[in-house]
Amino acid sequence: MEYKRIIAERLSQLTDIESNQIEKLIELPPKPEMGDFAFPCFQLARTMRKAPNLIAEELKEKINKDGFEKVETAGGYLNFFVNKADANKSILQKILTEKEKYGHTNIGAGKTITIDFSSPNIAKPFHVGHLYSTAIGNSLYKIFTSQGYNCVGINHLGDWGTQFGKLIAAYKRWVDEEALEKEPIKELLRIYVKFHDEAELDPSLEDIARQHFKNLEDGKEEEVKLWQRIKDVSLIEFNRLYDTLKIKFDSYAGESFYNDKMDEVVEMLEEKGLLTESSGAQVVNLDEYNMPPCIIKKSDGATIYATRDLAAALYRKRTYDFYKNVYVVGTPQALHFKQVFTTLKLMGFDWADDCVHVGFGLVKFADKKLSTRKGDVIFLEELLNEAILRAKELIEQKNAALENKEEVAKVVGLGAVVFTYLKNNRERDIVFTWEDILNFDGETAPYVQYSYARGRSILRKAGNVYSDMDFSKMTTSEEFELIKLLGSFNDAINSAIEKYEPSVVTRYILDVAKAFNKFYNLSPILSLEDEALKNARLALVDATTIVIRNGLALLGIDVVERM
């Protein structure tokens, strides 16, 4: 918030420390009686060789107190109490003038961030882990874009590999074209499973599959055609999902895109003397870094996942000249990315340091009903449809007279699933239950969306007009806590960016919704006779809805005006 900057600048003049550095040290005290902002003097004490409380006393005397009610010291801390009337006004006016731009800055102007996310494997079900990657990646895309960065969303499709030999063999024998048109992934999965069952009885199928893949690599017409067909029908299904979630990619360059770009990488590695042989395979030795070797070429000469990622990173640097190159992929692949980044560094590319693996934990659904007949696979469309259905039931109970229930149920159901994904620290494993996802009183999207709709309803009842507000009349702690929170939107965004962690924004929105509900339950608005106070509170409600809407937008979640 602005205040942090103001305090930092004033302290910087009194000490010899840069204001940026001071700003990072400023804390938000846990209790109102400790002030609104606190500066700890302990670090200064070390360089100045003076007791922290003495330094705090000195600074307290000297500092410019404009805009603050008072400045106090306590145990080595300098506590700032802002002038509430001023703060109310400046924060709320900023939000109300900037509206949908509130929270947006241009800090990232001129910098490009490539974000590799979602990246499902063709012909395999888009599983709950890919949805995790999709939700995080999409949110990071929106968060970085809001700060002026130029983002490139890349769907690194898993569209190459020996499994295509098997799929082609299976396709030629057992595919049901009609089923394929209707539910491509299910049908492809069915014939893929069948291939494995049949191959157990007749091992010669494996050789046939190998030959098909070899032909595919050699560009033989039949195999290429079938591969393309399998890819096309899979993409139709993936895109249906992306459309539902309103997610867009700037590039669909998947693994096959790098088929003709790996020779160069292998040559570079050879030139730099980085390739060694290990049981017939070509590898980059990473002993020195306490990692297993990065395999570049398997003993049969086939290139693999890591080689493609090396080629892809190089391609991204050349094409986009990224400032950061981000991969949103589950933590089980942490080692893979470490190996790739280290190899790039060994190749002499300093930009390897700008490559970031954004990992995330495992996702499980506690409800039995969700695990489908076939093993562990949860069909995502079924999951999302069920969320929408359940949301509709809940809405029916809450507000039977609502007009566009279908639409609302869609926004609430999808929002609920995405929100649950983005609620926790991404490294943690999560277990979902429907109760957690759709609880209107819990830490959920419906809770936040409902708070928003409630705010909008108040404003509608007021005819959407308010003016001549007197912000100094808002003196309760509920009001001030809410206003302060609204003012710290950018702190949440910055921290989310620093950690590549959308959950910071999710948590922040939950805090706003909670503070809003507390305020709303304790403070009359429409019934007030004091017009100046009523209008000030309406302005606060309006500002809150703006922040909730903007915040949810950064997570890829919509709001509804009524629910």
Q: Would you tell me which residues interact with ligand ARG (CB under 6 A)? A: 116, 119-121, 156, 158, 309, 312, 327, 329
Segment holding 240, helix H or strand E: helix 221-244
Residue with Cβ nearer ligand ARG (68 or 327):
327
The number of beta carbons lying within 10 Å of the beta carbon of residue 20 is: 10
- Reply yes or no on whether 127 is catalytic: yes
DSSP state letters, 7-52: HHHHHHHHSSS-HHHHHHH-B--SSGGG-SEEEE-HHHHHHHTS-H
- Reply yes or no on whether 124 is catalytic: yes
Residue with Cβ nearer ligand ARG (123 or 555):
123
Work out the burial of residue 400: count CB atoms within 10 Å of its CB; fewer than 13 is exposed, 13-18 middle, 19 or more buried.
Answer: exposed
The distance of closest approach from Cβ of residue 307 to ligand ARG in the complex, given in angstroms and rounded to an integer, is 11
The distance of closest approach from Cβ of residue 113 to ligand ARG in the complex, given in angstroms and rounded to an integer, is 15
Residue with Cβ nearer ligand ARG (147 or 325):
325
- Options 111, 127, 186, 338, the catalytic residue: 127
Residue with Cβ nearer ligand ARG (19 or 325):
325
Q: List Cβ neighbours of 63 (8 Å cut-off, separation of 6 or more).
A: 10, 11, 14, 71, 78
The distance of closest approach from Cβ of residue 121 to ligand ARG in the complex, given in angstroms and rounded to an integer, is 5
**Edge-to-edge strand ranges of the sheet holding 324-328:** 150-154, 112-116, 324-328, 355-358
The distance of closest approach from Cβ of residue 118 to ligand ARG in the complex, given in angstroms and rounded to an integer, is 9
Residue with Cβ nearer ligand ARG (309 or 558):
309
Helices of type H across 35-99: 42-48, 52-62, 84-98
DSSP state of 120: P
The distance of closest approach from Cβ of residue 166 to ligand ARG in the complex, given in angstroms and rounded to an integer, is 17
Residue with Cβ nearer ligand ARG (158 or 487):
158
- CA-nearest of 409, 425, 401 to 501 is 425
User: Measured between alpha carbons, how far is 204 from 374 in angstroms, rounded to an integer?
Assistant: 26
- Options 130, 212, 357, 534, the catalytic residue: 130
- Work out whether the CA dihedral 42, 46, 50, 55 comes out positive or negative: negative
- Phi then psi for residue 294, to 5 deg, are -90, 115
- Options 124, 142, 186, 473, the catalytic residue: 124
Q: Are 502 and 556 in contact (CB under 8 A)?
A: no
- Reply yes or no on whether 130 is catalytic: yes
End-to-end CA distance of the chain: 32
Q: List the catalytic residues.
A: 124, 127, 130
